Structure 1
Amino acid sequence: MSLAKLAREIGITRGAVAQWERVPAERMVDVSRVTGIPLPMLRPDLFHIESAE
């Protein structure tokens, strides 16, 4: 997905998206909804995932 399309879908400017080093916490739900990427994959630093061992 292009930056322009993502920005349009979540209602912000392409320039704002381009400045992100990582998805801001307040935008995670919108980005996940639009892209289909699960929240823990967008920001693994905010989620603790237990291993199934």
Structure 2
Amino acid sequence: MIEIVEIAAAKVGGVVALSRELGIKHSSFHSWPRVPAERVLEFERITGVSRHVIRPDVFGPAPEPAE
């Protein structure tokens, strides 16, 4: 299982809880080489993990905070 799924699952009460929120089987996580781009925004909403951390290849690095 990829590290970001493990981190996110810990935030929401485990892999089963995360899969339930996403509406998928928890075994699906084992086939993910990375979070699918079409699931990133929902994944972010559920876990609070930034899209920039989940898929920097799609969303780029996190923006710098404004001063």
TM-score (structure 1 length as normaliser): 0.79
* Runs of at least 5 residues in structure 1 that lack an aligned partner in the other structure: none
The CA distance in 1 between the partners of 2:63 and 2:45, in whole Å, is: 25
TM-score (structure 2 length as normaliser): 0.65
Q: Secondary structure at the match of 1:49?
A: coil
The CA distance in 1 between the partners of 2:37 and 2:60, in whole Å, is: 15
Residue 28 of structure 1: which of 25, 40, 53 is its match?
40
Q: How many residues align?
A: 52
Q: Secondary structure at the match of 2:53?
A: helix
Q: Taking every aligned residue pair, what percent have the same amino acid on both sides?
A: 37
Matches within 5 A, 1:1-53: 1=9, 2-49=14-61
Aligned AA (1:24): P
Cα distance change of structure 1 residues 3 and 48 upon mapping to structure 2, 3 Å threshold: same
Aligned AA (2:37): A
- Post-superposition, which runs of at least 4 consecutive aligned residues in structure 1 deviate over 4 A? none
Aligned-pair CA distance for 1:50: 7.9
